[in-house]
Amino acid sequence: MIKEVDKYETYYNELPYKFEAGTPNIADVVGFGASIDYLNDVGMSAVRAHELDLVKYAMRRIKDIQGMTIYGPKQPSDRGGVIAFNLGDIHPHDLATIMDDHGIAIRSGHHCAQVLMRKLQVSATSRVSFYIYNTKEEIDLFVQALDDARRLFKI
């Protein structure tokens, strides 16, 4: 960070301050604090219970879909609010595009886990995740969009 600037010279602050890029990101720190307060008010046990309820519901809804491969623990209590999967031979990027057309955001790709993808012998996976703002009705819409993708790709 600069200590002083005049017409012909710049004076840098002493170490370690001279390496700061400028004003610290105060607004995001304040927002982060508000997020922590919100989660403390909700209670992390309530967050986990809701997340687990949604994962259980989603796993029940998708486990018998033709062509569905679910990766990770089979017991919802052994996983977080994330389900990695593949649907038949639909490439995850294509599936993400179809889901987006339905207003549903999923992740697709190798998720920075190329070693795991090689172990699973897949090029990529799709990933849906749930949190306190998600509902079972949204999971139902997700399943409907999966059915539309299956019809489109004739699975």
Give residue-wise pLDDT tens across range 111-128.
999 999 999 999 999 999
Question: For residue 155, what pLDDT band results from cuts at 50, 70 and 90?
Answer: confident
Q: What is the pTM of this model?
A: 0.80
pLDDT tens, residue by residue, 61-94? 999 999 999 999 999 999 999 999 999 999 999 9
Range of the domain at 25: 9-41
Examine residue 2 and state whether it is found in any structural domain, yes or no: no
Examine residue 95 and state whether it is found in any structural domain, yes or no: yes
Q: What is the CATH number of the domain that holds 112?
A: 3.90.1150.10
Q: Give the total number of structural domains in the chain.
A: 2
Examine residue 3 and state whether it is found in any structural domain, yes or no: no
Q: Are 145 and 104 in contact (CB under 8 A)?
A: yes
Q: Which residues contact 155 (CB under 8 A, 6 or more apart)?
A: 66, 67, 87, 88, 89, 90, 149
3-state class (DSSP) for residue 70: strand
User: Does 90 share its domain with 51?
Assistant: yes
Q: Catalytic: which of 103, 112, 133, 151?
A: 112
The pLDDT score that the predictor gives to residue 62 is 96
Q: Are 98 and 145 in contact (CB under 8 A)?
A: yes
Concerning whether 110 is annotated as a catalytic residue, the answer is no
Examine residue 134 and state whether it is found in any structural domain, yes or no: yes
Examine residue 1 and state whether it is found in any structural domain, yes or no: no
